[in-house]
Structure formats: structure tokens, C-alpha cells
Amino acid sequence: MRGITTGCGLLIIALTLAVGGFLIIRGTVTFTVFRHSVSEFLFSPNWDPVDSAGGYGGHVGAAVYICGSLMTCALALLIALPFSLAAAVFMTEISPRVGAGFLQPTVEIFVGIPSVVYGWVGLTVLVPFIKNVFHAPMGGFSVLAAGIVLSVMIFPTITTISADAMRAVPQSMRTAAYGMGATRWQMIRGIVIPTAGDGILTGVITGLSRAFGEALAVAMVIGKTRAFPKNILYPTSNLTAAIAADMGNTASGGEYNQALWTMALFLLLISLFFIILIHLIPAIRKRRAES
């Protein structure tokens, strides 16, 4: 029994390392073999890699894609966070019975909806809506559409994790706050949210890393125009959409293909960064509390 569980654990570790190692090997070819600089990849908007086996000499500036990923995620967070916090507060503080019996399961169903469904609904409802209401220049395909679709996708993640953190706030702290004459709103604002802060932040980061890695739903509504958007009604492109669009057709081992692998490696590094951040939060908090 112990052997099996140990084996499974080791397998997961081995798999993760294998995927990571593979991405590092493939993703660094852009820099080692094709001699592009890391700063070109990160900051140049000039994307024109050569798509033929062994051909090179193009440009691999992925700044538009990176910027697109960052913008859509930031917008999604901006939209989702107020709703998530409000829902979590309602579920834990205002109406725990409705929250636990009705709202929580509903929110959890959201997590199970496949991303292609979100994308499709976005494409058929949201995109025409943005076109008609805001008169978006490119038929409604926009950063705004991508941000809204993503916000719906990360809303349940942030809500569930935040609600769990709020539930973990000791009842005695609430009682103490009421005892000092605090109103319910003062108690929520002054006691529950700050105390659950770590948990909320964990939820936010988990949501963000999901948003960053989401490809399908975003690709369907972002428009995939390779340019910085003038405002949120303009289309742009992002890392995952670019990889998904070109991975099957590019010549294997060519400059284009390797540049896509570099983008994949970059995505992995970002999500690693998020995960490390989640693990660091309690330690940072603790140190700050001590000093």
C-alpha cells in the first residue's frame, strides 16, 4: 500500500519535472540556437519568425502577446474581484444557510463548465453585444470581451477560496467585535476581510493563474490581432491564443515553432511564479506581523 502511494507521488513529481525539463529544452532553443536575446522576446513587438525547417533570421518579439495576456487578466481580475468578495461575504457572514445550501453549490457548478462553452457564449452573445452597444471597431472582438469571459471563469475560484478563508475566521473574533459595539458591516470590513486576507489573496492568485493559462475561451473572443490595443474595445492577441493558432501548422524545429515553445516556457514560468507567491504569502505576512 505504502509502495503504491509513494509510487504515485513520485510519478507526479517525475511528470512535472519531465514537462518542465522538456519545455526548458525546447523553449530555450530560440535563445541558444537562433541567437535571439531574451529582451527582444520580452519587449519587442516585432513578431515575424521564419516558418521553415532550419530557417531563421526573423524576429521573435512577443511583447504584443505578453501585453495581451497581462491586460486581459488584469481586466478580468478587476471585474471579478468585487463580485467574488461580495458573494463570499454573503455566503459566510450574511446568509450562511442560503450560502452553504444553495449559493456554494451553484458557484461550484461554474467551475465545471468547459471553457469552450464560455467561449462560445462569449462569441455569440457577448461579442455582438459589445459591437452593438459600444460600437467597437472590430465587430466586438476586444480586450473587454476577453476580460469579461475570463472574469466569469475565475469568479468561482476566487469566491470559493475566499469563502473558505472567511469561514476559517474564529467565531470568537466576531463575537468580540460585536461586543465592542461594531455593526455587522464594521465587523466584516474590520475583522473578517483582513483576517481572511491571506486566503483571499491565494484565491486571487489561483484565479489569475487560471486566467493566464486559459486559451480556448479567450482565443474565441479576443480577435487575435497582432497589435497593441488602442483601448479595451480594440482586439489584440495573447500568448495562449497565439500558441494554439500556430502550433499545428508551423514547421517542426523551425524558428517559428521554437518561438512558440519559448512562449509556452514563459507561461510555465509565470504560473510557477504565481505558485511560489502563494506559498510565500504566509511567510511574508508572518514576518511583517513580527516586526
Partner 1 sequence: MKNNTLRAFAAAAALLVAVSMAGCGSVTGVPTDTAASAAPATAAPATSAPAATSAPAASATGAAATTAAGTAVSGSVTASGSSALLPLAQEAAKEFMATNPDCSVVVNGGGSGTGLKQVAEGSVDIGNSDVFAGEKLDASAAQGLVDHEVCTITMAPVVNSTLGVTNLTTDQLVSIFTGKTTNWKDVGGPDKAIMLVTRPSSSGTRALFRKWALNGQDEASNAALETDDSGTLLQTVQQNDGAIGYVALSYLVNAEGVQAVSIDGAEPSLENTNNGTYKVWGYEHMYTRGDGSAASQAFISYITGDVFSQKLESMGYGVTAKLSADAAAAHRN
With CB under 8 A as the contact rule, the residue among 33, 227, 276, 280 that binds partner 1 is 227
- How far is it, in rounded angstroms, from Cα 206 to Cα 270? 12
User: Is residue 183 at the binding interface for partner 1, with CB under 8 A as the rule?
Assistant: no
- The verdict on 235 binding partner 1 (CB under 8 A) reads yes
Supply the DSSP string of 171-215, one letter for each residue.
HHHHHHHHHTT--HHHHIIIIIHHHTHHHHHHHHHHHHHHHHH--
Ranges within 252-271 binding partner 1 (CB under 8 A): 252-253, 256-257
Query: Shortest approach of partner 1 to residue 29 CB, angstroms?
Result: 13
CB of 56 to partner 1, least distance (A): 13
Q: CA-CA distance, 79 to 50, in Å (whole number)?
A: 38
Note whether 20 binds partner 1 by CB under 8 A: no
Residue pair 49/40 in contact (Cβ under 8 Å)? The answer is no
Residues 30-89 that bind partner 1 (CB under 8 A): 51-54
DSSP string of 78-97, one letter each residue: HHHHHHHHHHHHIIIII-HH
If DSSP codes are grouped into helix, strand and coil, which group holds residue 231?
A: coil
3-class DSSP assignment, residue 114: coil
**Which one of the spans 169-177, 178-186, 249-257, 281-289 is the region binding partner 1 (CB under 8 A)?**
249-257
Among 6, 32, 106, 183, binds partner 1 (CB under 8 A): 6
Pairing of strands 47-48, 59-60: antiparallel
Nearer to partner 1, 119 or 203 (CB): 119
**Binding interface with partner 1 (CB under 8 A):** 2-4, 6-8, 10-11, 14-15, 18-19, 22, 26, 51-54, 123, 127-128, 131, 137-139, 141, 219-220, 223-227, 235, 237, 244-253, 256-257
